[in-house]
Amino acid sequence: VQLQAFGGGLVQAGDSLRLSCAASGHTASERAFGTYTMSWFRQAPGKEREFVSAFRASDRSTKYADSVRGRFTISRDNSKNTVYLQMNNLKPEDTAVYYCAAGLRLIRSSFDQKTQYTYWGQGTQVTVSS
């Protein structure tokens, strides 16, 4: 599975952005994509990569980091093999490279664990100015 994230950019505090992550390269196309838990992580300069949000298609289970809950919304369109991250009311501390990731057979308590994900996108930069 190849993942390509895009949609990042330079915005001001309070603005919105929508990130997209398109998956390709797997067999059975839409059905296969639907079996993956898709997630977003981010990494700011000098910091560890941290969990942002996840969406498991099988039961539409979602999870958010406390720092983004209420501002970010994850969604997915299995017909397009794409997962989205709508980011509203952006803050300077949201500045980071955002990565999408895909994993199989994750339990909800492990959504935020980087080691559970098999496939990673290349990242897209989000910069929020104050």
The pLDDT assigned to 30 comes to 53
The pLDDT assigned to 26 comes to 66
State mean pLDDT over 73-100. 96
Distance CA 85, CA 76 (A): 9
pLDDT band at residue 17 under the 50/70/90 scheme: very high
Q: What is the pLDDT of residues 69-81, one digit of tens each?
A: 999 999 999 889 9
The pairing of beta strand 82-87 with beta strand 17-24 = antiparallel
| 42: Cβ contacts below 8 Å, ≥ 6 apart | 49, 50, 52, 94, 96, 97, 98, 99, 126
Distance CA 51, CA 83 (A): 15
State mean pLDDT over 19-25. 93
State mean pLDDT over 99-119. 93
Dihedral (C-alpha) 12, 53, 93, 20: value to the nearest 10 degrees?
-30
4 pLDDT higher than 90 = yes
The pLDDT assigned to 129 comes to 97
Q: What is the pLDDT of residues 23-56, one digit of tens each?
A: 988 654 556 888 899 999 999 999 999 999 999 9
